[in-house]
Amino acid sequence: MSEPILTTRNLTRKFGDFVAVNDVSFSVLRGEIFSLLGPNGAGKTTTISMLSCLIAPTSGDAAIDGHSINGNPNGVKNAIGVVPQEIALYDTLTARQNLNFWGHMSGMSGKALKTRIEEVLEQVELTDRADDKVEAYSGGMKRRINIAVGLLHKPKLLFMDEPTVGIDPQSRRRILDMVSDLRDQGMTVLYTTHYMEEAEELSDRVGIIDHGKLIALGTQKELTKLVGQQESLRLHLGEGITGESVQELFANVDGVLQSNALDGEVILSVTEAATALPGAVTVANANNIRIRSVDIQEPNLEAVFLHLTGRALRD
Amino acid sequence: MHKILSIAWKETIIRFSSRTELLFFLILPIAFTFILSDGLAGDPSEGTQSIELLVVNVDDSELAQTLVDGIDATSAVRVALVSAETAADQFADDATAVLTIPTGFGAAVNAGEAVTLDLQKEPDNNDATIVEQTVNAVIGSLNQPLAIAQAGVAFAEQTQPFADTAARDTFFVATLDRAQTLLADAPSRFVVTKPDGSISEEASFDVTAHQSAGQLVTWVFIPLLGVAAVFAFERNHGTLRRLLTTPTTKATQLLGIVSGHVGHAIVQMLLLMVFGAVVLQVDWGKSPLGLVIMMLSFGLAGVALGTMLGTLIKTTSQASSVAILLGMAMALLGGCWFPLEIFPPAAQTVARFLPTTWAMEGFSNLLAVNTGIDGVLVPAAVLLGFAVVFFGVGVWRFRYE
């Protein structure tokens, strides 16, 4: 797991005056799961679009398995598999017909394709529903076939663009387990998400992207070191109180380094939770703010994002 | 090549995944061709039970007898000659209808005067309605020979006056009889022979052949425009975007979609031609090579226009609506439903810029004028020109999202 399969160099994409991806450089090593973590609109999908040769970079380049996205897009396309954010399938075809079609588009055919279709159907646990039309599938099943299409031709590098968006927790769990299995099988995955928990659970390394810029990169351990020994106090507030309205009140509590508001809650970055909590409760009581519950969190990627941007990941 | 075939096959499965597609692919085109080509012509009430019509004929003219015989000759209605009293009794009882031919009917018609026939019928009775339609149809069939006979009498009188009324009546009836005979034997096809040899074989216009070609162009052209919906679907569902991340070029994708839909069009055209040939006796086989050239050029022009529309239209429902409206309008203006000659000159000029016009011209040349391959070269070239222009614009405007 030392040799990079993907290397980007100063990758930039502008749409008019808007800079969607700004001078991004990183590498993905063979066999690792690399997550690009960032809020909606951070530039994750634009980055994947450039890497999968859908749009050309305004400047910069990337090499995938030795092929430049600018110079040899066909070589790149042969090396990658893409699981897009949307369900890019034909509803009126069965799952097997979809896989057969996409297999042909990836250059497969004959018995090899047939065998591989059975393998991926088993992998996504949809063998018994393979001959049903996709339009009859649940959202989670569609997501799994969407992933199966990306895996079909055994790509050297798999791009997964927010593959758990809009599905129920059970289906989400199934997909995350599937991605873990891919790592066990040695597949290299570039995974984009705005869910901190997914990045934490799946990734060998994480790149944090915001406003088109890669603002941090490393293992989870390396990233959490950036926030020092900080902990997070998450105060869930009573009904009718928005985080924004009380954010400033908690910023002045002893031991609080940073106060951030979310919908119905406030996240406090603190040097030590046990010291800061009584002060926070005192301020709440003095201002008739009801605290419904409190979570104390060890340093995590959310805290890293907060530390680096001054905003919560879901802002 | 196998990618192109895969895309074409995918288009086929998607298009025919709904059974209702067969309705538009084959059933409705066949039905429209059959109906509009006079395949159902004949007695409108054919196949129904014979209904009794009481006729009170108090006019002893030959014309009155001709009318009675005409009604009785139909399969829908049989005539029972009765007196006025019997008719009144039976109508009061359960008779369906009573027709009274008044005294002086024949003489008044001979003189060109208006005559009123009295038809009493039961209200809200389907049989009575059929009787009324049948009587009207028979009177209608008499009107044309009557007009001819009246004109004949007038012309004869100008040349030499008749000796008496009886002689006049005799001449009228003889002329009427002759007109009826000639009209019954009138040809349904006009044959025009041009002396200069520019078209050496017989030139003909055949309503059935025109409808067979016109309905073929209409029902094949609309789904070809519907290719616009394919592009809208692919864009909106992200499949086009995903296709472009595979080692499949845009040209391959386009060729796959185009070949799939042109293939459907050719199969549809062949089926409609077989129907025309077998059921309607339309001679589609005069120039097989000419047919192949026309089918390919028409298919390409249609699918190219659909491709161009696909780059202008955002949703599948918009695409379907536009395809139907535009397809119908272009079929009408292109002379697919009625001969182009009946349109005003301005409309005929506009029609020269429509692919449907050239498709009709090519197919009509093969069918009616029987010019062989020479007759399709210009229409096919124009259609291919349309295809190049439409594809050019389509590829230029092609976006994956």
Say yes or no: B119 and B231 in one domain.
no
- In the predicted model, is pLDDT for residue B197 greater than 60? no
- Could A54 and B247 be called an inter-chain contact, meaning their C-beta atoms sit closer than 8 Å? no
Residues of chain B contacting A109 with CB distance shorter than 8 Å = 2
Provide the pLDDT for residue B193: 61
Residue A266: name the closest of A243, A286, A289 by CA.
Answer: A243
* Count of alpha carbons within 13 angstroms of residue B205, beta-carbon side: 8
- In the predicted model, is pLDDT for residue B38 greater than 70? no
| DSSP, res B199 | S
Specify the higher pLDDT residue, B259 or B116.
Answer: B259
The CATH topology of domain A4-223 is Rossmann fold (3.40.50)
Provide the pLDDT for residue B143: 78
Let me know if the fold of A4-223 is the same as that of A229-298: no
Which contiguous run of DSSP H or E holds residue B97?
strand B97-101
Provide the pLDDT for residue B189: 55
- In the predicted model, is pLDDT for residue B185 greater than 50? yes
Residue B351 in domain:
yes
Provide the pLDDT for residue B44: 42
Which residues 213-242 of B are in CB contact (within 8 Å) with A? 237-239, 241-242
Say yes or no: B245 and B366 in one domain.
yes
**Rounded CA gap, B145 and B203, in Å?**
29
ipTM for the complex? 0.79
- In the predicted model, is pLDDT for residue B184 greater than 80? no
C-alpha dist (Å) from residue A81 to A16, A156, B385? 29, 8, 40
Say yes or no: B58 and B143 in one domain.
yes
Tell me which chain A residue has its CA closest to the CA of residue B9.
A101
Domain segments of chain A as ranges: 4-223, 229-298
By Cβ distance, the residue of A77, A87, A101 closest to B247 is A77
Say yes or no: B298 and B325 in one domain.
yes
Provide the pLDDT for residue B401: 59
Chosen from B2, B236, B242, B249 to mutate, greatest number of chain A CBs within 10 A: B242
Provide the pLDDT for residue B24: 83
- Could A93 and B400 be called an inter-chain contact, meaning their C-beta atoms sit closer than 8 Å? no
By Cβ distance, the residue of A80, A87, A104 closest to B3 is A104
Q: pLDDT category, B140, cuts 50, 70, 90?
A: confident
Say yes or no: B202 and B252 in one domain.
yes
The last residue of a domain, from among B186, B213, B245: B186
In B313-353, beta strands by DSSP E: none
* Core vs surface per residue A58-90: b (16+ CB within 10 A) or e: eebebbbbebebbeebebbbbbbbbbbbbbbbb
Residues 6+ apart with CB under 8 A from B160: none
Task: Collect the ranges in chain A with pLDDT lower than 50.
Answer: 1
How far does A83 lie from chain B, in Å, by closest CA?
A: 8
**Rounded CA gap, A92 and B246, in Å?**
21
Say yes or no: B372 and B235 in one domain.
yes
Specify the higher pLDDT residue, A111 or B144.
Answer: A111
- In the predicted model, is pLDDT for residue B232 greater than 80? yes
The last residue of a domain, from among B138, B166, B186: B186
Say yes or no: B223 and B340 in one domain.
yes
Tell me which chain A residue has its CA closest to the CA of residue B238.
A88
DSSP letters for A132-143: SBGGGS-HHHHH
User: What is the share, in percent, of chain B residues with pLDDT greater than 90?
Assistant: 20
Provide the pLDDT for residue A60: 93
Provide the pLDDT for residue A265: 84
**Rounded CA gap, B81 and B56, in Å?**
6
Say yes or no: B32 and B67 in one domain.
no
State whether residue B286 sits within 8 Å of chain A by CB. no
The last residue of a domain, from among B118, B151, B186: B186
Q: Which residues span the domain enclosing B362?
A: 2-39+197-397
**Average pLDDT, stretch B338-363?**
87
**Rounded CA gap, B122 and B96, in Å?**
6
For B222, the token pair is: 């609309």
In B159-202, beta strands by DSSP E: 190-192
* Core vs surface per residue A275-292: b (16+ CB within 10 A) or e: ebbebbeebbeeeebebe
Say yes or no: B61 and B121 in one domain.
yes
Say yes or no: B147 and B212 in one domain.
no
The CATH topology of domain A229-298 is Alpha-Beta Plaits (3.30.70)
- Could B2 and A102 be called an inter-chain contact, meaning their C-beta atoms sit closer than 8 Å? no
Q: pLDDT category, B397, cuts 50, 70, 90?
A: confident
Say yes or no: B235 and B350 in one domain.
yes
Residues of chain B contacting A147 with CB distance shorter than 8 Å = none
- In the predicted model, is pLDDT for residue B43 greater than 60? no
Say yes or no: B218 and B91 in one domain.
no
Provide the pLDDT for residue A246: 76
Residues of chain B contacting A87 with CB distance shorter than 8 Å = 237-238
Provide the pLDDT for residue B202: 47
| DSSP, res B23 | I
Residues of chain B contacting A53 with CB distance shorter than 8 Å = 244-245
pLDDT digits (tens, 9 = 90+) for A14-53: 999 899 999 999 999 999 999 999 888 889 999 999 999 9
**Rounded CA gap, A173 and B181, in Å?**
87
- In the predicted model, is pLDDT for residue B200 greater than 60? no
Would you give the distance in Å from CA B192 to the centre of its chain? 22
Would you give the distance in Å from CA A147 to the centre of its chain? 15
Q: What is the mean pLDDT of chain B?
A: 83
Provide the pLDDT for residue B196: 56
pLDDT digits (tens, 9 = 90+) for B97-112: 999 998 888 888 877 7
Residue B44 in domain:
no
Residue B46 in domain:
no
Residue B353 in domain:
yes
- Could B247 and A92 be called an inter-chain contact, meaning their C-beta atoms sit closer than 8 Å? no
Q: Look at chain B and count its residues.
A: 401
Q: pLDDT category, B9, cuts 50, 70, 90?
A: very high
Residue B16 in domain:
yes
8 Å CB contact between A69 and A49:
no
Number of domains in chain B: 2
pLDDT digits (tens, 9 = 90+) for A84-114: 988 999 999 999 999 999 999 998 989 999 9
Q: pLDDT category, B379, cuts 50, 70, 90?
A: very high
Provide the pLDDT for residue B303: 93
